[in-house]
Structure 1
Amino acid sequence: MSKNNYKVVWLSAGISSFIAGYLVKDTVDEWIYIDVKDQHPDSMRFVHDCEKILGEKVTILRSQEYEDVEDVCRKTGFISTPYGAPCTGVLKKKVRKNWEQEFYKREGHMNLCYVWGFDEKESKRADNMRLNFPEFTHEFPLIDKGLKKEDAHALSISLGLKRPIMYDLGFPNNNCIGCVKAGMYTWNLVRKNFPEVFEKRAKMERDLGHSCMNGLFLDELDPNAGRRGEVIPECSIFCFMAEQELNGEQPIFQVVKTA
């Protein structure tokens, strides 16, 4: 690795981001995980297990402005927008940007190289990432090796890495419990496994007058609705960046002033 570059793996507490980083681990300068209170507690167990396998410490970052997803939604008055979910923007993207600012203050002469967990099926997204964020160097080890998400999970098993429990509960990604981008099937999994979270999100929807699912409120959701295998984005930094590829760097929300 050139001394003019600093390579970072942004862990999402998902399998793909870890395996992508593991494939190039000998050239990685720092591993970073952005913790959000709404993620299952097992996510932190997973991060610490990653540390054991790597023999490296993972830097843990958290928002200093907002407590959790509901705090963001209530203070901004939004649940989701065409330009992304405000919770992802401030709990993850803004935390990353703050880290970058501090990094450049210390190491202004160095370039940042980011390692992402896009898999073999996401080559177009990787191309768009390079095109829309040229200020960074980007690496996509899974794509370079022609690996799919299923391959990444198989590799994690061979390393003895126990995947986050959300996968075992049937969730397609290890997102926050009650991710505001989820579809009907996933919301019914939340209702089954985390009923208290389901009720809190349903109340929040009514209080704000906005729904998570394009006008369908959670308290109206048929318990049998949805289908297994529905597409739900992995709610990580690169998920938010990908949304901005399509919509430009426009504001995703305005803060609603409250008394």
Structure 2
Amino acid sequence: MAEQHIVCYSGGLSSALVALDVARRHGKNNVVLLNHDMHFSVEHADIKRFKRDVAEHLGLPLTFASRRNASQDQFDVCVESQAFKVGNGSELCTARLKTEPFMEWLAANASKDSSTIYYGFDATEPGRIQRRIGIMGSQGWKTDYPRLWSDKQFNDTEAIGIARPCTYSVFKHGNCIGCLKAGWQHWYIVYCTRPDIWLKGMWAEEEIGHAIHWDGDQPVYLEEMQPRFAAMKAAGIPATEHIPQQRFWADAKRIINIKVLQQDLLPCECTEDA
């Protein structure tokens, strides 16, 4: 059986660079761009444009491993299961929207003997790489990380005439807007720019009876944060992830004396992987 090269193709910049380098090294004939197509309300239209543009540049189709009910976003699947987290505390939306359809696709379409799965993690993420090696290796799957390759050639897509998604002007990733893994800085952007998603998050918390965010062992609901975020917005605190977290919250505290929660200063756990 010919080698199969499966790129975890999220629609974010890192996964696109991986796709370009994998196709350069191995040729495109046995490369699969495997995507979890998220609902249009939480995956920006320009991310959908970007992943199509890169796939068309490579002359490869997009292959989807998506939840059968395509009308559901991250809040819908959590409300359906009445939980935000499962098992060891991992976000239920990741399990339902990505991991489960990903593993189903692998079981039906890939071989542990001849397939390699490629991720977009880089040298700044050794912990995530080791976790992924452990998780997939324990199931017999081979993984590789082209952003670590010494001969990688692609560091942006503008060089091939493809603009990165416009969301990168505000966010540092290509994940769902209203990411359930993200911290309060991400959710401040949601509050300022996507009130529809903010309201749906509030609805999900009310339906489930739990908060998305916790400060230590205390739940902190979106409704509780509204007055703080309203004051921050009125004071002109920029809605962006491109200000380092420590400075972002220090500025907010200095300007409006906002209480800085423990969770605010934790590293963001957003991922682009399957």
Same fold, TM-score > 0.5, yes or no: yes
Q: Who wins on radius of gyration, i.e. which is larger? A: 2
Query: 2:96 maps to what in 1?
Result: 90
Matched, 1:216 2:252: no
Partner of 1:155: 156
Structure 2 CA distance for partners of 1:142 and 1:165, relative to 1, 3 Å: same
Q: 1:35 aligns with which of 34, 37, 45?
A: 37
Change (3 A) 1:186 1:10: same
CA distance in 1, matches of 2:107, 2:113: 12
Question: Match of 1:14, as an amino acid?
Answer: G
Q: Judging changes above 3 Å, is the alpha-carbon distance between structure 1 residues 124 and 62 closer, same or farther for their aligned structure 2 residues? A: closer
Cα distance change, pair 186–131 in 1 and its aligned pair in 2 (3 A): closer
> 1:110, CA displacement in angstroms?
4.7
Matched, 1:61 2:65: yes
CA contact (8 A) 2:205 2:221 kept: yes
The one-character-per-residue Cα deviations of 1:132-184 (angstroms, maximum 9, x if unpaired) are 3221111111112398xxx96x522222221122212x112111121112211
- Matched letter for residue 48 of structure 2: M
SS at structure 1 position matched to 2:178: coil
Residue 55 (structure 1) shift: 1.9
Instruction: Find the aligned partners of 1:131 and 1:188 in 2 and give their Cα distance.
Output: 34
Aligned equivalent of 2:253:
none
Structure 2: how far apart are the matches of 1:22 and 1:5? 17
How far is 1:199 from its partner? Answer: 1.2
* Structure 2 match to 1:165: 166
1:80-110 Cα offsets, whole Å, 9 max, x none, are 3553111110111111111112115xxx585
Specify the alignment match of 2:108 in structure 1.
Answer: 102
Question: Partners in 2 of 1:145 and 1:20 — Cα distance?
Answer: 13
Do 1:111 and 1:136's aligned partners in 2 also have CA atoms closer than 8 Å? no
Instruction: Name the CA shift for 1:229/1:218 in 2 (closer, same or farther; >3 Å).
Output: same
* Matches of 1:70 and 1:174, distance apart in 2: 18
**Cα deviation, residue 20, structure 1:** 1.6
Q: 1:14 to 1:78 in 2, by over 3 A?
A: same
CA-to-aligned-CA distance 1:188-245 (integer Å, 9 cap, x gap): 101111111111111221222211111111111121399833432333335xxxxxxx
- Give the count of matched residue pairs: 228
Q: Is 1:125 the equivalent of 2:128?
A: yes
1:189-208 superposed matches below 5 A? 189-208=189-208
Contact 2:112/2:141 (8 A) holds in 1? no
* CA 1:204–1:51: 2 relative to 1, 3 Å: same
User: CA separation in 1, counterparts of 2:184 and 2:168?
Assistant: 17
Query: What residue ranges of structure 2 are gaps of 5+ in the alignment?
Result: 246-266
Please say if residues 88 and 236 of structure 1, whose CA atoms lie closer than 8 Å, have aligned partners that are also in contact: no
The aligned counterpart of 1:235 is 271
Q: Is 1:50 equivalent to 2:65 in the alignment?
A: no
Partner Cα distance (1:186, 1:109) in 2: 37
What whole-Å deviation, never above 9, does each CA across 1:4-30 have from its counterpart, x for those lacking one?
Answer: 531110111111111022112142521
Residue type of the alignment partner of 1:115:
Y
Q: Percent identity?
A: 23
**Higher RCO, 1 vs 2 (CA within 8 Å, ≥6 residues apart):** 1
Structure 1 range deviating more: 224-233 or 184-193: 224-233
Task: Please give the secondary structure, in 2, of the residue aligned with 1:45.
Answer: helix
* d(CA) in 2 for partners of 1:101, 1:234: 26
| C-alpha displacement of 1:130 | 2.4
Verify the 8 A CA contact 1:92 1:236 in the aligned structure 2. Answer: no
- 1:80 and 1:16 map into 2 onto residues whose CA distance is 26
Contact (CA 8 Å) 1:21, 1:116: kept in 2 or not?
no
SS of 1:31's partner is strand
